[in-house]
Chain A
Amino acid sequence: MEALRQAFDFSDFPRTDLCVAVAVAVFLFVFPALPHSSFAMATMIQFLMFSVYGMGWNTIGGYGGQVDLGKAQYVGIGAYTTAVMQIRWDLPFWVSLPIGMSLAVGWSFIIGYPLFRLRGHYFAIATIATSLILKDVFESWSFIGGARGLKIPLRAEMPDFWFLQFREDYYYYYVILAFFFVGLIYLNWFRQSRIGMQLRCIKDNEEMARSLGIDSHWAKIKAYAVATAFVAAVGSFHACYNFNIEPEDVMSLDLSVLIALMAMLGGAGSLWGPIIGAAILVPMKNYLGAWFGAKAGLIGLDLIIYSTIIMAIAAFEPRGIWGIVTRIRQSRSD
């Protein structure tokens, strides 16, 4: 009960935050009713997906301060579990979702154990490596379609809520919107919880944290598992939303980097950060990407933009946009 109250307790945020949050929530609810292009709808769905990816990343990467660049492997595990179970055994999304999340979390414990013996850059590099190795395995594993990937067959009747197959995108929109709110409420609990505060203490000063009775290795593994569960859930959704999955798009390094980048741009270690980051980068990626893509010779410019953003964050404000907002607020109140 206390946990539930805590999850819905936003009282430590300033009123302006809450007003903006409510306005955004209302907008998200009514968006499908507003006039929009199908490209805008797809962008909104992606924005919500990346918000949830980023929320997950934020547990270990933001609150725990461990820069994880290997989240795509868990997107892959979630997406493939859902696709394979649907194709081979005709099992619906709502059955494969928890299984995919469990498999991903199980895998995260196995690799998290040795991974968190490493610190800083070594940890970041190792997360990239493990993700790419798993991608290689998936690409050469014929049972799950190898490099060509899998195609989920269409159901005879749509909308199919069990298998998450819809002709209209707004169904997908509301499903991922539900994920978004569940994730947000969970994270609001997490940041105030014992484990959440212990992680922030580890980030602050790990030796100090250990001297306060915190098993920092285990705390990081747990946070990593939470992050993994978020990411795998969206991976499962991705499989149903896209019908087509292949290692190159659900497990690529680009995806891992984008997940981390959005959370870091918006503000690592803050509740709103990943959402802000996704709200900026997803439209930018889609609209600029489409525009660049149309002009040959400009392909790859988006990558240059991403790397510029990474460098800007590292140099000016490691806490991202939310860090800037906090700084402005502090200087006003002083």
Chain B
Amino acid sequence: MALLKVQDLGMRFGGLMANWGVSFEIASGEMVGLIGPNGAGKSTLFNCIAGLYNPTHGRIHFLDQDVTGRKPYEMARMGLARTFQVYVASGDLTVLENVMVGCFLKTRSRRLAKERAGELLSSMRLSHLSDRNMANLPVAAQKRVVMATALATEPKLLLLDEVAAGLNSTEIDEMIGLIRWVNTEMGISVILIEHVMELVMNLSQRVLVLDSGTLIAEGEPEEIVRKPEVIKAYLGERYLNEHSDASSKGEPVA
């Protein structure tokens, strides 16, 4: 059964078609990578799915319901969680409080929310940050806390927008472990937008490639990095030369 079904999706901003004719499905339990050059329309696609934008064409089905044009909070209540590519907090909440707000989607009780948030933070090894202010966290910690907050809503599908941007290689390894844990242990389906190919290659069962608003390729990670159209649009010849053993390190030249 498809958890998410996107059909012929289009999003127009004035004269710009940020998404055009995008169709794909995500099965329950799947982990899918979404790659493509800057400005390809990846974040726009997430915003359409999450209800932040109302797509100008096409339909979106989530959990067998037509959810096209639903509000972000309605999508969240149905079991969709997301992170934002750019996240700025003005700093009114501590880490624990922020995660509690996520928990408040499923419970009204402050005591329960606090308990669950505490558990989630400790299972993500973030307990030591509980009382820190959201506004002045190191990047790596902030990315994890934002993920923890999204997970606190107990989603079925998690959309991750560049959670590895700005992380060093140790932090990237930790992030890979964390996302794998979310997928396998928590049973949450994941779509991840990422420029860090190491992460995409390591985690994705399937990769979608977006270029100029349309899907140009779809397939298993090893298969995708060899496709001429993907190399041309995004990865560049250098990527293939450096990774001819199809192992997966480094960043695209894009």
Pairwise interchain contact A6-B76, C-beta atoms closer than 8 A: no
Pairwise interchain contact B76-A200, C-beta atoms closer than 8 A: no
Identify the closest chain A residue to B97 (Cβ): A197
On whether A210 and B76 interact (CB within 8 A), knowing A197-B97, A200-B93, A201-B101, the answer reads yes
Which residues of B have CB within 8 Å of A193? 110
On whether A210 and B110 interact (CB within 8 A), knowing A198-B101, A203-B90, A269-B92, the answer reads no
**Interface residue tally for chain A (C-beta within 8 Å):** 24
Nearest Cβ on chain A to B212's Cβ, whole angstroms: 26
Residue-wise interface mask of A (202-213) relative to B, using a CB-CB cutoff of 8 A (1 in contact, 0 not):
011101111111
**Can you list 25 A-B contacts (CB < 8 A)?**
A2-B110, A2-B111, A197-B100, A197-B101, A200-B92, A201-B101, A204-B91, A204-B98, A204-B134, A205-B90, A207-B52, A208-B87, A210-B73, A210-B76, A211-B72, A211-B81, A212-B102, A212-B105, A212-B150, A212-B153, A213-B153, A214-B73, A214-B101, A215-B73, A269-B92
Which residues of B have CB within 8 Å of A269? 92
Indicate if A194 sits at the interface (CB-CB under 8 A): yes
Pairwise interchain contact B153-A201, C-beta atoms closer than 8 A: no
Residue in B50, B97, B110 whose beta carbon sits within 8 Å of that of A211 in the complex: B50
Nearest Cβ on chain A to B22's Cβ, whole angstroms: 21
Pairwise interchain contact B110-A192, C-beta atoms closer than 8 A: yes
Residue of B73, B91, B100, B150 contacting most chain A CB atoms (<10 Å): B73
Which residues of B have CB within 8 Å of A198? 101, 104
Pairwise interchain contact A194-B113, C-beta atoms closer than 8 A: yes
Identify the closest chain A residue to B133 (Cβ): A330
The 7 closest A-B pairs by CB, nearest first: A213-B76, A213-B105, A210-B72, A201-B101, A200-B92, A204-B92, A194-B104
Which residues of A have CB within 8 Å of B59? none
Residue-wise interface mask of A (1-39) relative to B, using a CB-CB cutoff of 8 A (1 in contact, 0 not):
010001000000000000000000000000000000000
Indicate if B1 sits at the interface (CB-CB under 8 A): no
Main secondary structure of the interface of A (DSSP, over half): helix
Indicate if A216 sits at the interface (CB-CB under 8 A): yes
Identify the closest chain A residue to B105 (Cβ): A213
Which residues of A have CB within 8 Å of B88? 205
Pairwise interchain contact B109-A2, C-beta atoms closer than 8 A: yes
CA distance A194 to B117 in the complex (A): 14
Nearest Cβ on chain A to B239's Cβ, whole angstroms: 32
Which residues of A have CB within 8 Å of B113? 194
Pairwise interchain contact B76-A203, C-beta atoms closer than 8 A: no
Residue-wise interface mask of A (172-205) relative to B, using a CB-CB cutoff of 8 A (1 in contact, 0 not):
0000000000000000000011100110110111
Identify the closest chain A residue to B152 (Cβ): A212
Identify the closest chain B residue to A189 (Cβ): B110
CA distance A215 to B71 in the complex (A): 9
Which residues of B have CB within 8 Å of A208? 84, 87, 89, 149
Nearest Cβ on chain B to A30's Cβ, whole angstroms: 35
Which residues of A have CB within 8 Å of B134? 204
Which residues of B have CB within 8 Å of A209? 101
Pairwise interchain contact B98-A201, C-beta atoms closer than 8 A: yes
Indicate if B12 sits at the interface (CB-CB under 8 A): no
On whether A216 and B89 interact (CB within 8 A), knowing A193-B110, A197-B100, A207-B52, the answer reads no
